[in-house]
Chain A
Amino acid sequence: MSDIQADIAGQTTTGEAGFGDYVQLLKPRVMSLVVFTGLVGLLVAPVSLHPIEALAAVIFIALGAGGSGALNMWWDADIDRVMSRTQKRPIPAGKVTEGEALAIGVALSGISVVMLGLATNWLAAGLLAFTIFFYAVVYSMWLKRSTPQNIVIGGASGAFPPMVGWAAAMGSVSIEAALMFMVIFMWTPPHFWALALFMKGDYHDAQVPMLTVTHGRRTTRTHILVYTVALVPFALAAAFTSIGGPIYLAVALVLNLLFLIGAWRIWRRAEPAAEADKYHVERRFFRLSLIYLFGHFAAFLIEATAPAGALAAAIGWGF
């Protein structure tokens, strides 16, 4: 009897994940962002897909993101065990084995690319395949542990989903898709560097060469300001394309002004002051960055609706 109990106890430690553990492996929070931006890219395109095709496209884009998330967790299991932020992920927690994560990542990546190609077109599928490759191989396996520019270049993988959505609807890419890409691409470094400023010891303990670790916190603050300034023209330029309009311009002006003020405050702060108030300004900037991205893409979506089009026509807005 005791033998049986010992056997069951042994099995619970590995390879007996619940379904929720598999869901966690796909990074659902990242997936939600991918679903949202990919859906916006798809819906703002001038050509509309059949609702079932659009649903399938968004599901397969999300599955691709989930697959690359699983591959990332498989590769990064060693540093996830060290960082407090990631210790509860399914592999470090012992709920999913590394082999399972690899198998799920590869399978979901393959299925998502092939099915997106069959459901929409092969340009969209190719872009999704490149996105998965970029996140799993270029970012996770290569850049993340080798250069402080990891977030900058690796941010491209998070920026592709709206372009994939646009390509799924249109069968091509254009300036609008490129601007949506650039907004996320330029937004990613300030977003993650703000996080790195207040998640102080994590990246250092894991020996991940984040800018805060390699070049110090003063340089990171300067970089946040520089990238925020560089982001603004792309965000505003989108207003004057077919996906923009007066509502988007108003939202973008407000959000970019707030984002610039936030970056300026971070740049001005000295480290002792930040430590004294437990990185209040940095945390607020991080939260604002989430609102910033959501706000821009929600405004794109609003501009694609009929009332927004009527408003633009009424005031003679035409691009």
Chain B
Amino acid sequence: MAIHQDHELHTRRWSRNLGVGLTLAAFIALVFGLTVVKVQNGSLMQGADHTYRSEIDPANQMPVAEPEQ
């Protein structure tokens, strides 16, 4: 027989804490999974990596030709 018996209040608190904790963990797992899928499905992306690359320099972009009048 247990020496200490939890009050019903503590049982409810425990269920609430566990439920909220598991919900948050599931949310994090879902956002992580979504991020992986988005990155895998995304088109080629180039971020700044502190090295000059002429292909992403706006100055080297071809100007859009104006239609002739």
- Please report A residues at the B interface, Cβ cutoff 8 Å: 8, 11-12, 16-20, 22-23, 50, 52-53, 55-56, 59, 115, 118-119
Contact residue among A16, A50, A53 (Cβ-Cβ distance under 8 Å from B13): A16
Residue total for B at the interface (Cβ-Cβ under 8 A)? 18
Determine whether B47 belongs to the interface, using a CB cutoff of 8 Å to chain A.
Answer: no
Which residues of B are in contact with A by a Cβ distance under 8 Å?
7-9, 11-13, 15-16, 18-20, 30-31, 33-34, 36-37, 41
Shortest 8 CB-CB distances between A and B: which pairs?
Answer: A19-B19, A18-B12, A18-B15, A52-B33, A19-B15, A52-B37, A19-B16, A50-B37
Tell me, rounded to whole Å, the shortest Cβ–Cβ distance linking B60 to chain A: 33
**A12-B8, A16-B13 known; A22 vs B37 contact (CB < 8 Å):** no
A8 to B18 alpha-carbon distance, docked (Å): 21
Residue of B nearest to A120 (CB): B34
Chosen A-B contacts, 10 in total, with CB atoms closer than 8 Å, are A12-B8, A16-B13, A18-B15, A19-B15, A19-B18, A52-B34, A52-B36, A53-B34, A59-B30, A119-B34
Chain A residue numbers with a CB within 8 Å of B15 are 18-20
| A18 with B34: CB separation less than 8 A | no
A residues near B20, Cβ cutoff 8 Å: 19
Q: Which chain B residues border A55 with CB–CB below 8 Å?
A: 30
Kindly list chain A residues whose C-beta atoms are within 8 Å of the C-beta of B13: 16
Q: How many angstroms from the CA of A17 to the CA of B16 in the assembled complex?
A: 7
Alpha-carbon distance A115/B8, docked complex (angstroms): 36
B36 contacts across to A, CB distance below 8 A: 52
Shortest CB distance A78–B (Å): 25
Given known contacts A19-B16, A56-B34, A119-B34, A11 and B9 CB-to-CB distance under 8 angstroms: yes
